Structures are given as C-alpha cells and as structure tokens.
Amino acid sequence: MFDNLSLLGLVPMLNLQLLLDGLLIGSVFALAAYGLALVWGVMNIKNLAQGDFVIMGGYITFTLSQPPINLHPILSIPIIFVLMFVFGWGLYHTIIKRVIERDLFTSLLATFGLAIVIQQLINLAYGPDVQTADAGMEIREFFGGEITIADTKLVSFLLALVVGLLITFFMKKSRMGRAIRATSQDARAARIMGVDTDRVYAFTFSLNAAICGVAGVLISIIWVIQPFFGITHSIRSFVIVTSAGFGNLIGVILSALGLGAVEQFSGFVFGAEFQQATVVGLLVGVLIIRQIMQSRQRQVVQ
Amino acid sequence: MNLQFKKIIFYAAILLAGIFAPIVFPAYTFQLAVLWMMILFALTWDILGGQMGYNSLGNILFFGAGMYICTVVQIGMYYDVAEYTAHFGAVKIDFTPYQYFTGISAGLVIAAFACAIIAVIFGWIVFGLRGPYFAIGTLGVAIAAGELVGAWDYVGGGGGISLPNYPGGPGDREMFFYMLCFISAVCTFIFLKWLYSTRFQLALNAIRDDEEKAEAMGIHTNRYKTIAWSFAAFFLGISGGIFGNMTGFIEPLEVAFPTVTFGIFMVLMVLLGGKGTLWGPVIGAIIFHVIKEITWTYLLGWQWVALGALIIINVVYFQQGIMGWAQEKWPEFFGITVDEAITSAEENSPAEKEASL
C-alpha cells in the first residue's frame, strides 16, 4: 500500500492518468445519480434498484451486440432508451404507484425487493460471469505512452454529456419538463393548476429508468457488467445525491466526477478488491459529515 | 378456566414443543435451530424497526461481530489466533471438552457485551440520521464491516476460520446447539416481554410517533435510542456466536455479514408478522422460515426471485402484517376497545374512529 503511494509521488504522470480515468468514468456515474436525484426530488422515492436498472441496460446492450443481431453498442442507445422507458412505465403502474404515498421506508424496501428480483433474473439468464460489450475502438497514447486514454472512454464521456444536456434542455423547455419541476416544488399546487401528477410521476420514473439504461450502455462499453454489481452502482448514486443534494445538477456532476476520481485513486493505492469498500466507506463518511453539519442546528436533549 | 391459567398452559405448551421437537423430528434439528435463531433476529429487529420506528438495514453487523468476537475469544484463550488462522483450517487442533466449553461460554458472554458496546459507538455515528438516511447508513456500515473483516488477516481474512471441533458425538453436537438457540430465543422473548411492559417501551413508541415532541417532553431520545440498539446488539451478538459454532466455519461475506440474506430476512419477517407487536415477529419468523425452506427445496434456482417478489408483495400490499391484520379484524381480542364517550360525542361529525386502549 505504501509502495503504491510512493509510486504516485515518483511518477506524477500516473496521477494525471488516474485523475483522467476517474473523471471519464465519473461522467457516467453522474447520469445514474441524476436519475436518482430526479425520482427522489420529484416523487420522494428512494430507488435502491437504480444500479440494477444500469446493469439491466448493460445486459440488453450485451445481448444486442452478440450474434445474431451484432448491433454496435453505441447504436443501441436509442433502443435501450425506449426499452427501459417502457420497462419503467410498467414498473410504475404495477409497484411504484402504490408506494408513493406511503412512508419513506416502504419505497426503500419495495425497490430493494425489486433489485433482488432483477439481479437474480439476470443471473439466471446470463450466469454470474463478468461481461463486456466490445465497441471495437482503439487506445490513444499521449506523452510518449505515459498517458493512455481509451477511445471508448472519451466517446462515452461525450455521449454522457450529450444525454445530460438533452435532459437539461428537456426539463427547462418542454411542457412535461415544466410539469415535472412544478410537481417537485409542490405536488398539491401543481394538481390544482391542472397538472396530471400521476402522469408526471409515471413519466419521471420511466425517464429515470431510461437514463439508467443509457448509463448501463456506457458502463458495458468502458467497464464490465455483472449481475451483482448493481448494488454498488446504487450506493454510488446515493453517495453522489446525498452529498450534492437534489435539484442541484452542477453539484451532482461535480460530486460524480469527484467520486470517480477518488475510486480510481483508492483502487490504485489499496488494490482493486477494495473498490466496493471505498464506495461504502465514502457513503458512511458523507452521512457522518452531513450529521455533523446538521447537529449545529439541531437541539437535542443530551 | 380463567385467562391467566390459559396463558400459562399456552406458554408451557410452546416450551415443551420447543424441547421435544428435535427429539420427535431428529432429521430437522438444524432447521429447527435456525428457526429459533430467526425468531431471535425478528424480535431484536423489531425493538428498533417496530417499536422505535428506526428501520435499520444493518443489524446484521452485530451478528457478524458477535460471531468473530466469540470465535477469537474461544481460540485465543488456549491458542495463538494468528497462528491458528494462518493454517486456514488445514490443521484442526482438538480442544479438550473443558477447553471447549469454557471457551464457548466465555466467548458468548464477551461477544454479547462487546456487541452492546459496539452498538453504543455506532449509535453515536448513525442516530443523527433519520428515516431513509438511517436505513442506508446502517446498510453501508454493515457492508463496510464485512469488507474490512475480509481484509484483516489476523482473523483469517476472506478465507475465513474453521471453528474448533465439538468434543462429543454428532447427535450430541446438534442437540447442544439446538438447545443454545432455543434458550437464547426464549430468553430474548422473555426479556422483551418484560421490557415492553415498562416505561421504556412508552419512550420508544414516543420516539416513533414524533421524535421532536418526545424530546420536548423531556425524553432523552439519544440515550433511549442507543440503549435500545445495544439491547438488540446484545442478543444478536450471542446468536452470532452460536451460529458460528453451529456451522463450524465462518467467513466474512456469506456467513458473518450476510447483508442480503439474514440482514433482509429479519426485516421481512417482522413486516410479515406485523411490526410493533411482541408476537408479530415470532409468527412472521415461523411463516417465513417455512416458506423459505419450501421455496429453497422446490424452486431451486428461482428461490431468490421468489424472495424478492415476496418482499415486494409484502411491502406493497400487506404492510400491516399478520398481527396488524388480526388486530383490525378482532380488536376485542387484543384489548382494543372503542371508547363510547368519544365516539358518541363525535357521532355527528365525520371524524375518524378513535380507538383507545
């Protein structure tokens, strides 16, 4: 561990490499986290199945990229978007609709059950092996090979940027986007103004599933997917949203990029097997900091 | 035959059934032992989840901590732990009966108290969190604990530890651990029955109903929350120590900190039985264990899907649980009566029915 630390000090380019990798991967985390911030902020649903939507999107891409279809992973993005949107719509009308008005723990537990069902169905269909969708791109070298950036990572960064911009534009300009924002501010007032909040909720949840699906496509290209990796992605989203707060898009993006970088560095220093521990440790850390910040305002009988 | 007498017969029948069940069905001794453990899980989860309204997803932390503490104490009393774990169970050292039984009793006692202390420490960290933050935070703590223990070579790391062999016949061994599980579950039940008859339960319920108002009434909420959690941790620590010895091999992710199996089962059992009641967790645990054994036997491969579906159906459609449903259906049986004075006063107004004890 200390050897790795001193290596970072000796080779400054390595820091840059890790930072770049982290930022490029972080952009994909930002997508899923933004989806979570959306459903959390608008519907007050804490979706623990978030990461499993991501993995599900990844596996659909993987299936499409295999024979007999042989579709290029990047071209499958629109298909995944539509498929996951429909999936989210169906899920909303069967399960989520019934937990919206309940207490907070209900939605957490119901989506946890959902996460188990999704991951186990994927496991039954594909087995527990690690998969990846090959985009067939090259690796670029800079500074005489000291820094390498895979083209796939650059492309996925750009794609995440494009999707993020499209969604922001949609939320700002379209009629449905305005309805979503109104509902998140005050659902009752929105209802009085003639907004069909039930439809808004259904749309928001489906949009979240679709965003997660796109994130899954990108993850399957640049990284690996495995049926049980979903929980780590969910926890990542929770870390990002908890530290950034919802309704704060810039905050979500910044903390996602930061999380990506921190994960790369800790993966290098402590070893890859500590990846999940790092994410979980960050979650606990964020919650403790949040609590210390709140305790300044909260008066408790001690 | 008055009610008191009926109650005594009822409890005596359960105790006798508990003692004679493994003698009548010797093939199911292990399953029955796990059933008592499940009852203990559900009861301890309900202290926070049901009575206090703090839904923890990480109570399994104390189960795993108890398991490891008990094991380390058991081995450490007579051997060097680092040397023992370094062999990864390749070398089985035989313990004399005296060493074994003193080890296990000291291990269980120390595990119980150590877990209570751990609960106090972690309570300081997590009890500022409310609602879903608490659930996610405790889940995070439990997962992190599993990962950290897996990286700690002194206790065997990810490879785990084999526990000392039981000195005695295989039949004795099963019966011994069955009795330990049975006694610990019954003790938990008796303790909670007493606890729920004191002012302590009222304070917990006040925290559940409205924490700010409870504070305003002068209840030291943080103190109550921490003590309640350390009660749960105390019994979970004992159960962890017993379970580790019963399976004979412990390992951080699947056996000691099984967040997605036992950790979720305890929540599910309480929700199934009805939270916030004394008997709800017990009934939920029994029904859940039976369902689980059936699906694990006949739906092999699909059992996890069935489990997830059960969680969703339970949470979405049947949240009040069996006891909650029974209380709605036969309120008189539970001593819930409709106060005539209040209802007649509000007869003309469409106010909600006021039920008072």
Q: What is the CATH number of the domain that holds A123?
A: 1.10.3470
**Residue numbers in A near B215 (CB within 8 A):** 300-301
**Residue numbers in A near B271 (CB within 8 A):** 109
Please determine, for residue B355, whether its predicted confidence score (pLDDT) is greater than 50.
Answer: no
**Residue numbers in B near A105 (CB within 8 A):** 55, 131-132, 135
Confidence band, pLDDT 50/70/90 cuts, at residue B347: low
The shortest C-alpha distance from A299 to chain B (Å) reads: 9
The shortest C-alpha distance from A139 to chain B (Å) reads: 33
The shortest C-alpha distance from B67 to chain A (Å) reads: 21
- Mark yes or no for CB contact B312/A110 under 8 Å: yes
Task: Decide: B337 and A119 in contact? Cβ < 8 Å.
Answer: no
Q: How many helices (H) and strands (E) does chain B have?
A: 15, 4
Q: Does A169 touch chain B (CB under 8 A)?
A: no
What does the alpha-carbon distance between residue B63 and residue A29 come to, in Å, rounded to a whole number? 33
What does the alpha-carbon distance between residue B121 and residue B124 come to, in Å, rounded to a whole number? 5
Residue B65, pLDDT score: 92
Cα distance from N-terminal residue to C-terminal residue, chain A: 41
Q: What residue in A sits closest to B142 (Cα-Cα)?
A: A280
Residue B181, pLDDT score: 93
- Mark yes or no for CB contact A287/B140 under 8 Å: yes
The answer as to whether A301 is a domain residue is no
Residue B351, pLDDT score: 44
pLDDT digits (tens, 9 = 90+) for A254-279: 889 989 888 888 888 877 767 777 88
Over residues A112-141, the mean pLDDT reads 83
The shortest C-alpha distance from B31 to chain A (Å) reads: 24
Nearest by CB to A109, from B129, B309, B311: name it: B311
Q: Does A244 touch chain B (CB under 8 A)?
A: no
Nearest by CB to B128, from A110, A112, A295: name it: A295
Task: Decide: A33 and A264 in contact? Cβ < 8 Å.
Answer: no
Give the residue, B333 or B101, on which the prediction is more confident: B101
The answer as to whether A207 is a domain residue is yes
**Residue numbers in A near B305 (CB within 8 A):** 116-117, 120-121, 124
Please determine, for residue B116, whether its predicted confidence score (pLDDT) is greater than 90.
Answer: yes
Please determine, for residue B108, whether its predicted confidence score (pLDDT) is greater than 90.
Answer: yes
Please determine, for residue A246, whether its predicted confidence score (pLDDT) is greater than 90.
Answer: no
Confidence band, pLDDT 50/70/90 cuts, at residue B92: low
Pairing of β A147-150 and β B249-250: unpaired
- Mark yes or no for CB contact B135/A242 under 8 Å: no
Say if residue B22 is preceded by a cis peptide, omega within 30 of 0. Answer: no
The answer as to whether B141 is a domain residue is yes
B101's tokens: 């039984």
With H, G, I as helix, E, B as strand and everything else as coil, classify residue B356. Answer: strand
**Residue numbers in B near A46 (CB within 8 A):** 132, 136
The answer as to whether B39 is a domain residue is yes
Q: ipTM more than 0.90?
A: no
The answer as to whether A302 is a domain residue is no
Confidence band, pLDDT 50/70/90 cuts, at residue B55: confident
Total structural domains in chain B? 1
The answer as to whether A42 is a domain residue is yes
- Mark yes or no for CB contact A287/B133 under 8 Å: yes
C-alpha neighbours within 13 Å on the C-beta side of residue A155: 19
Total structural domains in chain A? 1
Torsion B177-B182-B185-B191 (CA) sign: negative
A242's tokens: 């908890």
Nearest by CB to B215, from A106, A276, A301: name it: A301
Largest CA distance in chain B: 80
What does the alpha-carbon distance between residue A26 and residue A262 come to, in Å, rounded to a whole number? 10
Least confident interval from A90-94, A273-277, A288-292, B54-58: A273-277
- Mark yes or no for CB contact A291/B125 under 8 Å: yes
Please enumerate, as own/partner, the contacts of B124-131 that have beta carbons within 8 Å and a separation of 24 or more: B124/B226, B125/A284, B125/A288, B125/A291, B126/A287, B127/B54, B127/B222, B127/B225, B127/B226, B127/B229, B128/A291, B128/A294, B128/A295, B128/A298, B129/A287, B129/A290, B129/A291, B130/B211, B131/A104, B131/A105
Residue B352, pLDDT score: 46
Provide the residue range defining the domain that includes A97. Answer: 2-295
The shortest C-alpha distance from B55 to chain A (Å) reads: 7
Residue B90, pLDDT score: 60
The answer as to whether B331 is a domain residue is no
- Mark yes or no for CB contact B271/A109 under 8 Å: yes
The answer as to whether A36 is a domain residue is yes
- Global confidence as pTM: 0.83
B27's tokens: 């093939």
The answer as to whether A300 is a domain residue is no
Residue B357, pLDDT score: 42
The answer as to whether B235 is a domain residue is yes
- Mark yes or no for CB contact B128/A242 under 8 Å: no
B187's tokens: 């003790």
Buried b (16+ CB within 10 A) or exposed e, A100-121: beeebbbbbbbbbbbbbbbbbb
Confidence band, pLDDT 50/70/90 cuts, at residue B338: low
The answer as to whether B293 is a domain residue is no
Chain B interface with A: residues with Cβ < 8 Å: 55, 57, 125-126, 128-129, 131-133, 135-137, 140-141, 143-144, 147-148, 151, 215, 218-222, 260, 264, 267, 271, 301-302, 304-305, 307-312, 315-317, 319
Give the residue, B196 or A287, on which the prediction is more confident: B196
- Mark yes or no for CB contact B132/A108 under 8 Å: yes
Q: Does A267 touch chain B (CB under 8 A)?
A: no
Residue B337: φ, ψ to 5°: -120, 155
B interface mutation test: which of A44, A114, A280, A295 has the most B CBs within 10 A? A280
Q: Does A6 touch chain B (CB under 8 A)?
A: no
The answer as to whether B203 is a domain residue is yes
Chain A 42-81, residues with CB within 8 Å of chain B CB atoms:
46
Q: Which residues pair with A149 in a beta bridge?
A: A140
Task: Decide: B147 and A61 in contact? Cβ < 8 Å.
Answer: no
Place of tokens 């790391």: B157
Q: What residue in A sits closest to B223 (Cα-Cα)?
A: A302
What does the alpha-carbon distance between residue A209 and residue A158 come to, in Å, rounded to a whole number? 20
3-state secondary structure B32-92: HHHHHHHHHHHHHHHHHHHHHCCCCCCCHHHHHHHHHHHHHHHHHCCCCHHHHHHCCCCCC
Please determine, for residue A213, whether its predicted confidence score (pLDDT) is greater than 90.
Answer: yes
Q: What residue in A sits closest to B217 (Cα-Cα)?
A: A301
- Mark yes or no for CB contact A276/B55 under 8 Å: no
What does the alpha-carbon distance between residue A177 and residue A170 come to, in Å, rounded to a whole number? 6
Give the residue, A98 or A1, on which the prediction is more confident: A98
Count how many residues are written for chain A. Answer: 302
Provide the residue range defining the domain that includes B95. Answer: 30-258
Task: Decide: B103 and B164 in contact? Cβ < 8 Å.
Answer: yes
The shortest C-alpha distance from A149 to chain B (Å) reads: 31
